[in-house]
Amino acid sequence: MSEIAKLEALEILDSRGNPTLAVTATLANGVTATAKVPSGASTGKREAVELRDGDKSRYGGKGVLKAKGYVEGEIQSAVRGFDANDQKGLDKRLCELDGTPNKGRLGANAILGVSLAVAHVSAKDRGLPLYAALVEKPANLLPTPGLNVLNGGKHADSNVDFQEFMISPVGAPSFSEGLRSAAETFHALKAVLSKKGYGTSVGDEGGFAPQLKSNEEPIELILEAIQKAGYKPGKDIVIMIDPAASEFFDDGAYVFAKSDKSRKTPTEIIALWKSWLKKYPEIWSLEDGIAEDDHDGWQAITKELGGQIQLVGDDNFVTNPAIFSQGIKDGIANAILIKLNQIGTVTETLDCIQMARDNGYGAVISHRSGETDDTSIADLAVAAGMGQIKTGSACRGERIAKYNRLLEIERELGSKARYAGASMYERWKKAVKA
């Protein structure tokens, strides 16, 4: 029987040394599986609530013993005997049990831990890999990764305001070859930085975090590294950026507090992105180039640039089907970032992905800046079949674990495996020409 028999939670540490939850689900037949919950730093305001103890005597208040208590108490009582193969039913029950619109009572960390552990145990019980168990149709598309090789903003102690500078190996014939070219470029970037006398220590997502002369210099350095590694910028490897603009939006203006202290109006920041796209045609994707609170700015940038490049909404959509649906109606962005813990259940996450597909939006499956060795998002990216993942640099074990899992999936799929490669990128390039 695939009945849920037991839920256990453990307070573990994430990649920043902060507490998070590992949840283990056991079925009546003894099959067992564990999922570990990630945690963000540059969070959207409307994300589901991450429940923290607030007891300053433990982990500065960041403990998750209350969430652990809910998993092993209330939630376990409510789902014991439930069919683990009914993910939708389970997730609905979890949401109802919580009873708030933002999972604020039991915590999205407690709820996601359970939802994801059950997805794993159900897959295992059915003898399926997670990527095949999550969806009904065959899943064989390996995503093109975006590797965040230069970290700034809230993820690094540097003078760069923008959070993520990613390289994406669109020209490779397979996921493994793409990962190789990206890793080689990561090493070339280290050499480029060293030669210029810049630091090569890394930020939260494994990208380098040097003190630089401007917010633009990362692009120049990355272009140099791509070439140094023997690849062609714009053909083999393209650039994706996530400035995470909500983090530097203050009182209606974009304030570059870490670099030159300048302020930009919404019109000016759109002009800045436009000038970058002109100067660097290698950039094909811009995530959170506008702050979550700047609704008009989002509409304006979508009108102006939505036909040219991928505009990904992260902080504004928070993987929430209701919020995303309104955003689509409002003509905001043309892609969504997908983070399981922003919403807190597997079902709602899959709903967002489906909504993106139905509306011609892209979907980028994503890690959080605080991660564990959990690799669920690698499987989710293949299950989603949307062709994109971002899960950090070619550095730090918790990032590499996801890329390594994708290598395993690629091997397992054998001749059935397809690599998304440039397919998404080509779509936008065509739009530019039209």
242 binds Zn ion (CB under 5 A): yes
Closest CA to 146 of 429, 356, 425, 427: 425
Q: Which stretch binds ligand PGA (CB under 6 A): 23-31, 52-60, 348-356, 362-370?
A: 362-370
Residues 318-337 that bind ligand PGA (CB under 6 A): 337
98 binds, among ligand PGA, Zn ion, none (CB under 5 to 8 A by kind): none
**What is the three-state SS of the chain?**
CCEEEEEEEEEEECCCCCEEEEEEEEECCCCEEEEECCECCCCCCCCCCCCCCCCCCCHHHCCCHHHHHHHHHHHHHHHCCCECCCHHHHHHHHHHHHCCCCCCCCCHHHHHHHHHHHHHHHHHHCCCCHHHHCCCCCCCEECEEEEEEEECHHHCCCCCCCCEEEEECCCCCCHHHHHHHHHHHHHHHHHHHHHCCCCCCECCCCCECCCCCCCCHHHHHHHHHHHHCCCCECCCEEEEEECCHHHHEECCEEECCCCCCCEECHHHHHHHHHHHHHHCCCEEEEECCCCCCCHHHHHHHHHHHCCCCEEEECCCCCCCHHHHHHHHHCCCCCEEEECHHHHCCHHHHHHHHHHHHHCCCEEEEECCCECCCCCHHHHHHHHHCCCEEECCCCCCHHHHHHHHHHHHHHHHHHHHCEECCCHHHHHHHHHHHC
CA–CA gap between residue 367 and residue 219 (Å, rounded): 22
Q: Which does 43 bind (CB under 5 to 8 A by kind): Zn ion, ligand PGA, none?
A: ligand PGA
The catalytic position among 124, 258, 339, 402 is: 339
Q: Which residue number, 47 or 351, has a Cβ lying nearer to ligand PGA?
A: 47
* Shortest distance in whole angstroms from residue 287 CB to Zn ion: 5
- Supply 240's token pair: 């994706």
**Stretch 149-178 residues interacting with ligand PGA (CB under 6 A):** none
Q: Which is nearer to ligand PGA, 40 or 129 (CB)?
A: 40
Q: Which of 47, 205, 247, 371 is catalytic?
A: 205
Complex with ligand PGA: residue 234 or 370, whichever CB lies closer? 370
From the list Zn ion, ligand PGA, none, which binds 78 (C-beta under 5 to 8 Å, kind-based)?
A: none
Which value, to the nearest 10 degrees, does the dihedral of the CA atoms of residues 18, 24, 25, 31 take? 150
Question: Residue 314 interacts with Zn ion (CB under 5 A)?
Answer: yes
Q: Is 391 in the site for ligand PGA (CB under 6 A)?
A: no
What part of residues 334-353 is at the interface with ligand PGA (CB under 6 A)? 337
CB of 289 to ligand PGA, least distance (A): 12
Is residue 242 near ligand PGA by the rule CB under 6 A?
Answer: yes
- Tokens 């939802």 locate to 115
The Cα–Cα gap between 204 and 316 comes to: 22
User: Shortest distance, CB of residue 234 to Zn ion, whole angstroms?
Assistant: 23
CB of 151 to ligand PGA, least distance (A): 10
- Examine residue 368 and tell whether it contacts ligand PGA (CB under 6 A): yes
- Tell me the per-residue interface mask from 279 to 298 with Zn ion, x by CB under 5 A, - otherwise: --------xx----------
Q: Name which of Zn ion, ligand PGA, none residue 369 binds, using a CB cut-off of 5 to 8 Å depending on partner kind.
A: ligand PGA
Q: Is 398 one of the catalytic residues?
A: no
Q: In angstroms, give the least distance from the CB of 315 to Zn ion.
A: 7
From the CB of 203, what's the least distance to ligand PGA, in Å? Answer: 11
User: Is 339 assigned a catalytic role?
Assistant: yes
From candidates 238, 244, 340, 355, binder to ligand PGA by CB under 6 A:
244
Q: How far is the CB of 312 from ligand PGA (least distance, A)?
A: 9
Per CB under 6 A, contacts with ligand PGA among 35-64 are 40-43
Count residues near ligand PGA (CB under 6 A). Answer: 11
Mind telling me the catalytic residues? 205, 339
Residues at the site binding ligand PGA, with contacts judged by CB under 6 A: 40-43, 242, 244, 314, 337, 366, 368-369
Residues at the site binding Zn ion, with contacts judged by CB under 5 A: 242, 287-288, 314
